[in-house]
Every structure is written in C-alpha cells, then in structure tokens.
Structure 1
Amino acid sequence: MTTPALPDETQAQRLASLEEHIAHQANTIDELSDQLAEQWRVIEQLRSKLDRLTERFLTLEAGSLEAPAITRPPHY
C-alpha cells in the first residue's frame, strides 16, 4: 500500500508547518531549561542556608545549660 504523492504546494505547506512546530518546541525546551537552572540555583542556596542553620542550632544546643531536674514544688 503506497501513499499517493502530494502536490508540491501541499508538501511545502506541510514542511513549513512542521518547521514552525519544531521551532515552538525548541523555544519551549529553552524556556524550561532556563527555569530548571534557576530552580537548581535556588535549591543550592536553600541547602547552603539549611546547613548553616543546622550548624548554628547544634552549636547553640551544645552550649546550652543542662535542663533543671524536675522536682516537686515546695507546697507539696
């Protein structure tokens, strides 16, 4: 089963339509790539900030006083 040959004008229109579709897809891929790169930059900043806060918390926790012993109030 063979497909009938399309007129040159129809083939040219089809080719132009496919090229336009590919150009839009390439543009979309570029935009998504830029967004992904930005998201990774933000993730790395947040990861760095979390690491600094974790270190600070552990330092403060190590330097804190021991919790007072639980004792009965004097009125018991």
Structure 2
Amino acid sequence: MPKFTKDMSKAVHQLKPPYRNLIIDFVEHPNYIGIRIYENQIMAMNEMQKVSVMEYLQLLRTTIESFGVKANFDGAKGDPPRSIN
C-alpha cells in the first residue's frame, strides 16, 4: 500500500494553491495516493478559476508521482469536512 510520506507532504505543501481556502486531501488507497477535491468548491468557481485548480491538481499529481507512487484524482460530493478547532 502506498504511503503519503513526510517527504511527499513537504513537497506538495511547497506548491502554492491558486486560491486561499482550497481544501485538498490526500488519501492512501491500496494501489495509489488519492488527491481528493470537493465538488461544491469546484462548482462555485468560474471557468478561469477551474482551469487554475486543474493545473494545480496536475502539478500535485506529478509531484507525488516523482516519488515513484501512482496518484489519481478522487472527487468527493458536497463540501469538504469542517475542521475541528
């Protein structure tokens, strides 16, 4: 099972997201690392913002795959989970 390592985490967190408050989660699956984005975030954006997010997601995928691990996009319905603070 691929693991989302500390080195991967450092690498992806060095990449600046195109929009503040964009929630992306990384999920370990048996054969790949999932890059999860939430449907309601994307649907609230205009076309230019959507393109920017798609370019960012592709950059995340390329970065994770540079560690020799397969990465796929995992869409999730609804809003991102709320943080517990």
TM-score range, shorter chain: 0.3 to 0.5
TM-score between both structures, scaled by the size of structure 2: 0.29
Structure showing the higher helix proportion among its residues: 1
Structure with higher RCO (Cα < 8 A, 6+ apart): 2
Flag the structure with larger Rg. Answer: 1
Structure showing the higher strand proportion among its residues: 2
